[in-house]
Amino acid sequence: MPNVLADALLHWSRSDPGRVCIRMPSGEQWTYSELARRSAQLAHVLHRRGVQPGDRVAVQVEKCPEIFALNIACARIGAVYVPLNDTYTSQELAGLLDDCHPTVFVVDELLDLQVPQITLHALLANALTELYEFVDVACGDTHPAAMLFTSGTTGRPKGAVLSHGNLVAGARTLSAFWEMTQNDVLLHTLPIFHVHGLYVAAYNTLVRGGSMILLGAFSVDDILRELPKATVLMGVPTHYTRLLADKRFTAELAGHVRLFTSGSAPMLGTTHAHFETRTGQTIVERYGLTETHILTSNPYRGERKAGTVGLPLPGVNLRLAPDSNEIEVTGPTVFAGYWNRPELRGTEFSADGWFKTGDIGRIDADGYVEIVGRSKDLIITGGLNVYPKEVEEILNALPGILESAVVGLPDPDFGEAVTAVVVAEPGSTLDPAEIRRQAREVLAPFKVPKSVHVMESLPRNALGKVEKARLREILSAQ
């Protein structure tokens, strides 16, 4: 039996070993042969430390090229790679590590935690004397490859387990849909503890024999410097708004890039329009979850509809639940379940085995999918349903509003009160009463925000997604 994931990621190390796969702004380069060699050496070290097929290897380190070799080493040995946000505190880590129970925890610096640890520096030093070859453990499509913690729709974080088959199907399907080739150069600006940065951006590149320019934390200056060398940029909406705010970002600078993609958070229609006006290109929005890889995308060739996340990818089955319009999916990229949480099978999957995404959607006559909002963010006011995105779109179109977020807050009369937070465009002053008056002109009365709050910015996570739970906490404390 082959090792499904390692074979896919190391294909080019065997067919074209001298091809460059990772480039650093410093000038350092890794070839596919180097990636294979280093992953083999790290696989030997992990094996010597007692890591067996199915064991978890947790990793919390800063972004660097060695992480890709470590990730592939875990695949080669049949271990489960558990990437953890590098901003998590020891307190936050303790519960996650207690849940996944790793055989080894790879860190930048040793932490005061009761779990076997090794620094990445020590791990790499130990690997220097190891053999360049490793006999990969046989792993089929269903063998677990990764565990990523997600809060999903039910309380405490839970580990979504993705298999070798899930990850390979996702990378091969999406990279083909976006027509990626060995000539592509990805400008990698994303964190690699997340599906977007590792299993979408990096894997899409590696399975096609392309190369990556590896950047650290997002920096407009770094992107502007490196962009002329790239053909693909994958980002989140915040990345594009920051680029557009810089006059140095021009059509000429972006002209070498054939594909700009955005995900992990919804993009404003104004950002789409501004980007097209500035560059003459349109951003490809797509949609996926930690549990499912990427499910839909606007086409590389064909109409790209702003405000939608495109069409279901080949092999993805997508439907709307008749009672709620919640998006449900099946397909080769959809995970089998959560680590140590068998009871969630009955709540997170339908009776006939479709995964409930928690997202409320619409599908237009051409089959394009629009995400209306999260089911947990649905506001029920006076017994009537209000989808936050519908109200946000109206508010975002009003003069002087840069962006908005709409949430429900407890209300003694209506159950929940529609509550809006707005951010002003630079130089604009917003009047909450005037915003409500204008909203009443286009929205049914029950959808009009009962109150409007002006803030300097919206709370976001590491990938730019608005944290509505945090927003509700802030508003409730006022």
Output the domain CATH number for residue 433: 3.30.300.30
Instruction: Establish if 163 belongs to a structural domain.
Output: no
Same domain, 206 and 348: yes
Domain that holds residue 102: 4-140
Cα distance between residue 359 and residue 371, in whole Å: 7
Q: What CATH number does the domain containing 365 carry?
A: 3.40.50.12780
Q: Tokens 């089998």 map to which residue?
A: 336
Q: What is the pLDDT of residue 151?
A: 58
How large is the C-alpha radius of gyration of the chain? 23
Same domain, 136 and 229: no
Contact indicator for 382, 411 with CB cutoff of 8 Å: no
pLDDT in tens, the chain (478 residues): 799 999 999 999 999 999 999 999 999 999 999 999 999 999 999 999 999 999 999 999 999 999 999 999 999 999 999 999 888 888 789 889 999 999 999 999 999 999 999 999 999 999 999 999 999 999 999 999 999 998 544 446 789 999 999 999 999 999 999 999 999 999 999 999 989 999 999 999 999 999 999 999 889 999 999 999 999 999 988 899 899 999 999 999 999 999 999 988 778 788 899 999 999 999 999 999 999 999 999 999 999 998 899 999 999 999 999 988 999 999 999 999 999 998 888 889 999 999 999 999 999 999 999 998 777 787 878 767 787 888 998 999 999 999 999 999 988 777 789 999 999 999 999 999 999 999 999 888 889 999 999 999 999 987 778 889 899 999 988 8
Instruction: Establish if 150 belongs to a structural domain.
Output: no
Cα distance between residue 324 and residue 346, in whole Å: 17
| Domain end among 103, 125, 140 | 140
**What is the CB-side half-sphere exposure of residue 180 using CA atoms within 13 A?**
31
The phi, psi pair for 293, rounded to 5°, reads: 60, -150
Q: What is the dihedral of CA 344, 80, 148, 98, to 10 degrees?
A: 70
The phi, psi pair for 8, rounded to 5°, reads: -70, -40
Instruction: Establish if 154 belongs to a structural domain.
Output: no
pTM over 0.95: no
Q: What CATH number does the domain containing 73 carry?
A: 3.40.50.980
Q: Tokens 């404390």 map to which residue?
A: 477
Same domain, 369 and 388: no
Q: Where are the alpha helices (DSSP H) in 323-431?
A: 345-348, 388-396
SS3 category, 4: helix
Same domain, 340 and 437: no
| Domain end among 374, 403, 434 | 374
Task: Provide the token pair at 167.
Answer: 């990850």
SS3 category, 177: helix
Same domain, 366 and 385: no
Q: Report CA 70 to chain centroid distance, whole Å.
A: 20
